[in-house]
Amino acid sequence: MTAEQELKTLFAPAKRLDKNEVLKQKEKFEELFEMSTFMDTIPSIYLILNSNRQIVLANRTALDILGYEHVNDIAGLRPGEAINCVHSREMPGGCGTSEACSQCGAVQSILLGLEKQKNMKDCQVSTENNESYDFRVWANPYSLNDEKYVIFSMMDVSNENRRRTFERIFFHDVLNTASGIQGIMAIIQDYPEEISEFKDVLYHSSTQLISEIQSQRDLIYAENNELVPNITESSALKLLKYIKNVYSNNEVSRNKIIVIDETATDGTIETDESLLIRVLGNMLKNALEAGSINSKVILSSSVENGSITFSVHNDSYIQRNVQLQIFKRSFSTKGLGRGLGTYSMKLLSEKYLKGEVWFESSEDEGTVFYGKYPCKYHTSS
């Protein structure tokens, strides 16, 4: 058994052929009548994969989209390696062998194709360049000289999915808030003498409506590389107190308790305050939605080595298969049209706020989301 055959995998087989063997397979396909010419007429990514999931042949569209000059440059790679997927280099065995790959629709589709099952699946890919894509993929089994292959095609449906998701979230959240405002106004019309009792609620609801519209706008700008952060100095504890107050008055916090840890450390950071509030607010909202009745959500902050780390803790455990997909753009446990909350945390933090976002989850300790950002200086709490 070769060293390559012994490579560890957490999902799909790691074994692969060396490039010279793959190029021999490529020559067999090129000998077929007009195969390369036919593939080059297809306007989406079109690949022929061998039984080890390696690219044997790729059409011109695939080469152009993926940034390769010649098919020999891509031969021997697996699709995730050619796309530069963040998980494709986590294991020595490459694409398909990390734990996260077990949730990848592309790998699942290819494996089914190798079992002679024609299929279609969707997958989300995050690249090492902080780009996110939604692909629809098709795998069709094929045999040549008694060797198994898969004809594998990929269509980028990111724009379609992005539009649908934005529309559903926007209409869902904005209509809910606007309906609340309309309800309050109806009460005021019937009982005008009670208007003073509803002033604070009306102000909070209208502020929330504007925030939701701005949130969707900023995320669109961020994905289009058009977002320009407005950097100012801000206090860590001030931000925690602000999001606590905002969500204490939100329907999502009903029968939940929000507290700021008494050991939380204050610090001054240079950041875009509205974007950071959006990140921390999403962390808190997710924690409240996942928490059980009468559960406690704990907000905290700590300063170390020139950085400040915010944390949001609740008592719920995230199942492992969900953990592996938590920052994917269109993934959500909340149903169709959701799934931008955790994705936007990562996008805004790592692309615009010079920070990083991660989480830890266990059945004993619950779940903590963290956001770490540069800190100018800190003060005692």
CATH of the domain at 72: 3.30.450.20
- Nearest C-alpha neighbor of 179 from the set 118, 248, 251, 287: 251
For residue 262, give the CATH number of its domain: 3.30.565.10
Residues 115, 238, single domain; the answer is no
- Looking at residue 253, its pLDDT comes to 86
pLDDT at 1: 38
Helix (H, G, I), strand (E, B) or coil at 370: strand
Sheet holding 296-304, edge to edge: 257-260, 296-304, 307-314, 366-374, 356-362
Q: Compute the distance between CA of residue 35 and CA of residue 217 in angstroms, rounded to an integer.
A: 46
Residue type, 220: I
Q: Does 149 lie in the same domain as 33? A: yes
User: The pTM is what?
Assistant: 0.75
- What integer pLDDT is reported at residue 20 of this predicted model? 95
- Report yes or no: 309 and 370 within 8 Å, Cβ to Cβ: yes
Full residue range of the structural domain in which residue 61 is found: 19-156
CA dist., res. 180 & res. 174, Å (int):
10
Q: Do residues 206 and 266 make contact, with C-beta atoms less than 8 angstroms apart?
A: no
Identify whether residues 28 and 131 lie together within a single domain.
Answer: yes
Residues 243 and 354 in one domain: yes
User: In this structure, are residues 371 and 279 in contact, taking their beta carbons and an 8 Å threshold?
Assistant: yes
Quick one: 47 and 175 in the same domain? no
| The domain boundary residue, chosen from 125, 140, 156 | 156
- Asked whether residue 7 is domain-assigned, the answer is no
If asked whether residues 240 and 360 sit together in one domain, one would say: yes
Q: Are strands 55-58 and 45-50 parallel, antiparallel or unpaired?
A: antiparallel
Asked whether residue 6 is domain-assigned, the answer is no
Across the beta sheet with 45-50, what order do the strands follow?
55-58, 45-50, 147-156, 132-144, 119-126
Nearest in space to 108 (alpha carbons), one of 84, 135, 87, 139: 139
Residue 3 lies in a domain: no
Is residue 8 assigned to a domain? no
In a domain, 186, yes or no: yes
pLDDT of residue 246: 83
Same domain, 243 and 131: no
Beta bridge mates, 123: 135
| Maximum Cα–Cα distance across the chain | 86
Domain count, the chain: 3
What is the torsional sign of CA 229, 231, 235, 236? positive
159, HSE (Cβ side, Cα atoms, 13 Å)? 3
Long-range pairs for 134-143: beta carbons < 8 A, 24 or more residues apart: 134/158, 134/160, 134/161, 134/162, 134/329, 134/330, 135/105, 135/106, 137/105, 137/106, 137/109, 138/109, 139/109, 139/110, 139/112, 139/113, 140/113, 141/113, 141/114, 141/115, 141/116, 141/117, 142/48
pLDDT on residue 303? 93
In a domain, 1, yes or no: no
Q: Are 244 and 113 in a shared domain?
A: no
Phi, psi of 17 (to 5 degrees): -85, 155
- pLDDT at 333 (0 to 100): 59
Are 114 and 197 part of one and the same domain? no
Out of 181, 199, 228, pick the residue that ends a domain.
Answer: 228
Any idea how long the chain is?
Answer: 381
The residue out of 212, 228, 244 marking a domain boundary is 228
pLDDT of residue 334: 58
Query: Strands 377-379 and 356-362: what pairing?
Result: unpaired
The answer to whether residue 11 sits within a structural domain is no
pLDDT at 381: 46
> Mean pLDDT of residues grouped by 10 in the chain (381 residues)?
64 95 92 81 94 96 95 96 95 96 96 97 90 93 94 91 70 73 79 76 77 81 87 94 86 90 93 92 91 92 93 94 84 54 88 94 95 78 46
Residue at 63 is within a domain: yes
- The pLDDT value given to residue 166: 67
What is the spatial distance between Cα 50 and Cα 298, in angstroms, rounded to a whole number?
51
Cα separations (Å) of 8 from 52, 73, 93, 194? 15, 26, 7, 69
Q: Do 236 and 328 share a domain, yes or no?
A: yes
* Domain shared by 237 and 373, yes or no: yes
Strand 55-58 with 119-126, pairing: unpaired
State the residue for tokens 């292959």: 149
**Confidence (pLDDT) at 74:** 95
Are both 280 and 357 inside the same structural domain?
yes
